Amino acid sequence: MSRVPVRPAALGATALAAALVLAGCSAGGGSSNSSSGGPTKTLVVDNTFDLKTSDPARAFELTGSIVDKAIYETALTFQGDDTTKPLPQLATFKESSDNKVLTLTLNGKHAFSSGNPVTIDDIVWSYKRVQAIAGNPSFLLTDQSTGKNLDIAKTSSTTMTITDTNPNPALPFILPNPSLGVLDSKVLTKHGGTTTKSDGAEQYLNGHSAGSGPYALTSYSATTKVVFGPNPHYVGSKPTYGRVVLQNVTGPSQKIDVQGNQAQIATGLNAQQVQGIGSSLKVLKSTSPDVGYLWLNQNPTYGKGVTNNAAFVTAVRKGLNYQDILAVAGTGSSQPGGMVPSQFLGSIKPDATNTYDASAAKAALTKAGYKGQTVTLSYPTDATLSGVEFSTLAQKVQSQLEAVGVKVKLAGTPISTLLDAYRAGKLQAGIMYWGPDFPDPSDYTTFSPGEALGLRAGWAASMSPEVTKAKQAAEASTGTGRAAAYEAWQRAANQNGPFVPLLQPARYFVTASSVTDVKPNAVWTVDLAAIK
C-alpha cells in the first residue's frame, strides 16, 4: 500500500540537508485579527491537494498527512527531517527483546482542543478505531506478513501494549504516522465515533477538531483550502504562526503566488519552475523519498511472451540511460539502487543490474528471441512525481528503449483508471511511483513475488523463490543485521524481478525571506507548526 496522488527507513538529516539558494520578489507573513480581537501572524502555504478527509483513520494521502499532523499528536514522533530515531510525543516506548511487544507509557500531561485530558484509553480507542474502520491506514496496525490485526491492550492507567505474533522492529517507526493521530474518544463517541465498522464520525471530523495538536480546524474544504487556528489547550511550544492557510494551488500558480507575496511557502514546484524564481525568495532543495519505477508484467497473459521473458527484462534494465532520466528531474534527483530509497536503512547503490549498456541490452534482446513486438507502456496523465510529468518520463523511456531495438507504445490514462487496471495486474508495462508509508525498509517488501505490488506486475508467489527467501530473511531480521538483510533482498530482486527503480526526484520548497526554518519530512511532507 502506498500514498499515490489522485496518491509511502531511516531518513537522515544529512540526506535532506537544505541547500538554500537565493533566488525574485519579496514575500512575508502577514497579520490578521484573531477571534479574540488580537493580532495573529498568518502563514499561507500553497500545496497541490490530494485531500479526501481529515479523519486520521481514513486519510492516507499526502495533503491529509499535512492536515492531520497539525491537528493531532501521535504516541511517537520524529524531530524535523530526521526519521532515523522515533521520539516520545504522547508516550515513551520500550520494545521487548524479541521485538514482538511494544509498551507505551503516557508522557506528561496533554490535552485535547476540548480541554479533555489525553488518556491511555484515548490511544487504545483511537488505534482500535483505525483497525475497525479498515480504511487505507489500517494496515499500519497489522502484522506486515500475515495481515492480521496487532493486539492492542491497556495494561494500567498510564500504559498499554501493542503485540505482534512476529518480530516487528518497524513498529516504532510506524506510530508517528499522522493517520495514527490520537482522538478525543469522549467527544467522538458523542458524534458517531466507535471502534466498529459502523463508525460514523468522519463528517464531524471534517469540520471539527478532536486532537491535542498545536492547531485546531477553523474551516475545511477538501478542494480549496484548510484554515487552522490555535488549539488553546496545547501543551507544547507555541507555533510561530497563530493562523495557517493551506490552499490548493497548481504548480505554475504556486510560483505566481509566492512571487507575488500571496503565499509564503510553495511546496509543489519542479526544477524548471524554480529557475529564476527571484533574488529575495529562498529555494530549499532536497531529494524526495518517492521512488519512480518501471514495471514489466510477468503474467504470460499480459506479458504476451515479451515482458515476462527474463532476458527481455535484462534488456530493458540495460537499455535505460539512467543519467539522462535524472536530467529530466533536475538537480538534486538521484538513482536508487533498489526500491528502498537512498535515505532509508537497507538502501543500496546502483550496481551492474541497473547500469546503462546498449550493447548488453541488444545482446539480451537476441537471447530473448525478441521479434519486434510492441510493448505498451502505461503511465498516469494527471499526476506528477515531485513536479515531474510522467508523460515526460514515459517519452524518455520510449526513446531510450527504441534506441536499443524495443518498440514501445505509450498509453497515458488518468491515474484513477490506470490504478484500477494496474492493481488488477492487467497492464503489460508502465511507470509509477511509491511513496513511503513509514520510514522503514519493511514497507518495500511488497515488491516481492506474491505480495501486493508483486502481483500488480504478475509476479506470482511461485516465481523467483530466491527473492522470496531473501525477503523472508529480511522480514525476520532484527538488530544490526537488518540493513544487510534488506540489501540482499533488493539485489536478489534486481537479478530476478520485474521492477526497475528509475529515480528519486528532487523536491523543492520555495519560501519567502520571512520564513527562516522549514524542514521537509518523508512521512508528513511538512510540519506546519514547526515552521518559523
- For residue 370, being part of any structural domain is answered with yes
Which cell numbers hold the place of 268?
509543489
Say if residue 2's pLDDT is above 90: no
**Same domain, yes or no, for 513 and 425?**
no
DSSP designation for 476: H
Retrieve residue 438's grid coordinates: 513509514
pLDDT at 382: 86
User: Which CATH number covers residue 335?
Assistant: 3.10.105.10
Is the same domain home to 400 and 295? yes
- Whether residue 346 contacts residue 9, with contact meaning beta carbons closer than 8 Å, is answered with yes
- The confidence band for 383, taking pLDDT boundaries of 50, 70 and 90, is confident
Question: What pLDDT is recorded for position 145?
Answer: 78
**What is the rounded distance in angstroms from the CA atom of residue 317 to the CA atom of residue 138?**
35
> 190 and 301, same structural domain?
no
Decide if 162 is inside a domain: yes
The confidence score (pLDDT) of residue 171 equals 97
Instruction: Determine which of 159-163, 432-436, 487-491 has the lowest per-residue pLDDT on average.
Output: 432-436
DSSP 392-427: HHHHHHHHHHHHTT-EEEEEEE-HHHHHHHHHTT--
Q: Say how many domains are in the chain.
A: 2
Cβ proximity of 74 and 176 under 8 Å: yes
Would residue 280 count as lying in a domain?
A: no
The answer to whether residue 206 is domain-embedded is yes
pLDDT of 11: 33
Q: Is residue 6 one of the residues assigned to a domain?
A: no
| Residue type at 43 in one-letter notation | L
Task: Please report the pLDDT score of residue 147 as a whole number.
Answer: 87
**Which residues face 380 on adjacent strands?**
413
Q: In this structure, what CATH number is given to the domain that contains residue 49?
A: 3.40.190.10
User: Judging by DSSP bridges, how do beta strands 215-220 and 225-230 pair with one another?
Assistant: antiparallel
Q: Are residues 525 and 485 part of one domain?
A: no
Q: Are residues 233 and 325 in the same domain?
A: no
Residue 455 lies in a domain: yes
Residue 221 sits in the same domain as residue 337: no
Q: Assess whether 116 and 239 both reside in one domain.
A: yes
Inform me whether the pLDDT recorded for 19 exceeds 90. Answer: no
Q: Is the pLDDT of residue 268 over 70?
A: yes
Straight-line distance from the first to the last Cα atom of the chain, in angstroms, rounded to the nearest whole number: 33
Q: Give exposure, 512-532, as e/b (b: 16+ Cβ within 10 Å).
A: bebbeebbbbbbbbbbbbbbe
One domain for residues 407 and 440 = yes
Between 370 and 18, the more confident residue is 370
Q: How many CB atoms lie within 10 A of CB 459?
A: 29
Give yes or no for residue 7 having a pLDDT over 90.
no
Q: Average the pLDDT over 482-492 and give the result.
A: 98
Is the confidence at residue 185, as pLDDT, over 50? yes
Q: For position 416, what pLDDT does the model report?
A: 85
Q: What percent of the chain has pLDDT over 70?
A: 93
Range 321-327 contact pairs with CB under 8 angstroms and sequence separation of 24 or more: 321/356, 321/400, 322/350, 322/354, 322/355, 322/356, 322/502, 322/503, 323/356, 324/396, 324/400, 325/393, 325/396, 325/397, 325/400, 325/502, 325/503, 326/503
C-alpha pair distances (Å), 468 with each of 121, 178, 455, 522: 39, 31, 13, 27
Q: pLDDT at residue 5 above 50?
A: no
In a domain, 7, yes or no: no
Same-domain status, 60 and 204: yes
Residues 488, 514, single domain; the answer is: no
3-class SS of residue 434: strand
Domain that holds residue 351: 291-504
Residues 442-452: what's their mean pLDDT?
A: 96
**For residue 455, pLDDT beyond 90:** yes
| Cell matching residue 286 | 532536497
pLDDT of 26 reads: 32
Q: Is the pLDDT of residue 6 over 80?
A: no
pLDDT at residue 428 tops 90: yes
pLDDT tens readout for residues 316-367: 999 999 999 999 888 889 999 999 999 999 999 999 999 999 999 999 999 9
pLDDT score recorded for residue 8: 33
Q: Give the span between the Cα atoms of 302 and 308, in whole angstroms.
A: 8
Q: Is residue 14 part of a domain?
A: no
- Categorize the per-residue pLDDT at 14 as very low, low, confident or very high, splitting at 50, 70 and 90: very low
Look at 115-129, 376-390, 459-473 and tell me which has the smallest mean pLDDT. 376-390
Q: How confident is the model at residue 251 (pLDDT cuts 50, 70, 90)?
A: confident
Tell me the three cell numbers of residue 258. Answer: 509566492
Same domain, 55 and 129: yes
Q: Residue 178 corresponds to which amino acid? A: P
- Spatial separation of the C-alpha atoms in residues 390 and 384, rounded to whole Å: 6
Q: Does position 34 have pLDDT exceeding 80, yes or no?
A: no
Instruction: Give whole-number Cα distances, 164 to 145, 160, 364, 383, 474, in Å.
Output: 11, 14, 45, 36, 17
Tell me the average pLDDT of the chain: 91
| Contact between 375 and 407 (Cβ < 8 Å) | yes
Q: Is the pLDDT of residue 198 over 90?
A: yes
pLDDT value at residue 165: 95
Q: Do 321 and 247 belong to one domain? A: no
Spell 331-358 as b/e; 16+ CB within 10 A means b. ebbbbbbbbbbbbbbbbbebeebbebbe
